[in-house]
Structure 1
């Protein structure tokens, strides 16, 4: 006789528990999700969980030094052009002359 859905769920839960599986969840913004989708498309991966698991395993296999680049936080360097910097200084000085704050 076939198992009921409850029996199948209980069996799957017992198997996950025996294997020590743990569900990981996190929220991402649209840009991050788009990058994951692009990675998945590049490599023909259809399941997000599989892609994340492969990324973790492969980054770990690189070791601490080589994986550092992949795990570095992207920081944007702000560079003001000379014209923008000069305009900012002029506007700041104009504002200080108008209201010296004293």
Structure 2
């Protein structure tokens, strides 16, 4: 007897449950999607999930310390030139003067 689509879907769902599969979903912005596309190209992956699973396995294989270093979000140090700092200070002082006059 031929299985119906519902029967096949139930079988797939049962096998996934038995295997302990969990579906992960998340939203990303265009910049992250571009990075993922680059990684897929570099690793010659055609599926996003394949690329992500490979990344997870390889980062985990590095061990706690090396993986932790890679998993730190990038931090950018902001350095203002003296000219820009002076301009900001002057603009702030000008704004503060306006506020003082409005309060009176």
- Structure 1 unaligned spans of 5+: none
Q: CA RMSD in A?
A: 1.7
Q: CA deviation at 1:84?
A: 0.2
Equivalent in the alignment of 2:31: 31
Equivalent in the alignment of 2:78: 78
Q: CA deviation at 1:8?
A: 1.6
Figure out how many residues of one structure are paired with residues of the other and give that number.
Answer: 102
Equivalent in the alignment of 1:40: 40
Q: CA deviation at 1:94?
A: 2.7
Equivalent in the alignment of 1:87: 87
- Structure 2 unaligned spans of 5+: none
Q: TM-score when scaled to structure 1?
A: 0.88
Q: In structure 1, what is the Cα distance between the partners aligned to 2:29 and 2:99?
A: 41
